[in-house]
Amino acid sequence: MTQANGAPRDGVQIAATADVDERATIRTGTRVWHLAQIRETATVGRNCVIGRGAYVGPGVRLGDNVKLQNHALVYEPAELADGVFVGPAAVLTNDEYPRAVTPQGRLKNSDDWSPVGVVVGEGAAIGARAVCVAPVTIGRWALIAAGAVVTRDVPDFALMVGVPARRVGWVGRAGEPLVAKGDGRWVCPHTGAGYHEDQGRLTELTPA
């Protein structure tokens, strides 16, 4: 994937100070920056950016064109589709009932709990220091505001804010809030793409 000094090889560039397990799969065009860690059997797609100090857990799957900003933490068994953005210091958890020890006081090991994952749909964005509490699914092109805490599934195109996160609007593929036009119709002010809302779900009418 890369030479020991961080020089690119096979279309992948990994900083010399990054920690990438030899059993991980990293595809062409991806860049892994200073102090990032990618664990065993993780899969990172094409043209991804793994920022300084970011963490990708064992077996995590990232699609193409994914961006993990500095110190983003993505714990196994998370799955991120193409085009997902994870902001600085955001966390995707994996322990529904966290404890360091068993009820008997013994330090837990991998046999004492079952990890659960966060699934993030195509194009979705998770803001800085947001936390997604597994198990949860983030819909396509949704936007999670900075500092939000997601504890329930998020529909496609939803704009989520607060603790716990609640939907306060809709966004389009450009990430900008949609403008209501009445009768369930919404329009993206950036692209002009149209959407229709029905029973709390948004459908794309004219893709950007």
Q: Is the pLDDT confidence value at 3 over 60?
A: no
CATH number (domain holding residue 62): 2.160.10.10
Q: Count the domains in the chain.
A: 2
- Under the banding of pLDDT at 50, 70 and 90, the label for residue 36 is very high
84: nearest Cα among 37, 144, 134, 133: 144
CA distances (Å), origin 123, targets 107, 110, 112, 183: 39, 32, 35, 27
Residue type, 187: V
> Mean per-residue pLDDT for 139-166?
98
> Mean per-residue pLDDT for 130-156?
98
Q: Does one domain contain both 18 and 110?
A: yes
Q: Is the pLDDT confidence value at 44 over 70?
A: yes
What are 120's two structure tokens?
Answer: 């993030």
31: nearest Cα among 8, 4, 54: 8
Q: Determine, yes or no, domain membership for 88.
A: yes
The answer to whether the CB of 127 falls within 8 A of the CB of 145 is yes
Q: Determine, yes or no, domain membership for 17.
A: yes
- Under the banding of pLDDT at 50, 70 and 90, the label for residue 123 is very high
Q: 30 in helix, strand or coil?
A: coil
Range(s) of the domain holding residue 194: 173-208
Given this model, what pLDDT does residue 8 score?
54
Q: Determine, yes or no, domain membership for 6.
A: no
Q: Is the pLDDT confidence value at 4 over 50?
A: no
Q: Does one domain contain both 168 and 108?
A: yes
Tokens 């997601």 — which residue? 150
- How crowded is residue 3: how many other Cβ atoms within 10 Å of its Cβ? 11
178: nearest Cα among 195, 166, 165, 200: 195
Return the H-helix or E-strand segment holding 136.
strand 136-138
Say how far apart CA 208 and CA 204 lie, in whole Å: 9
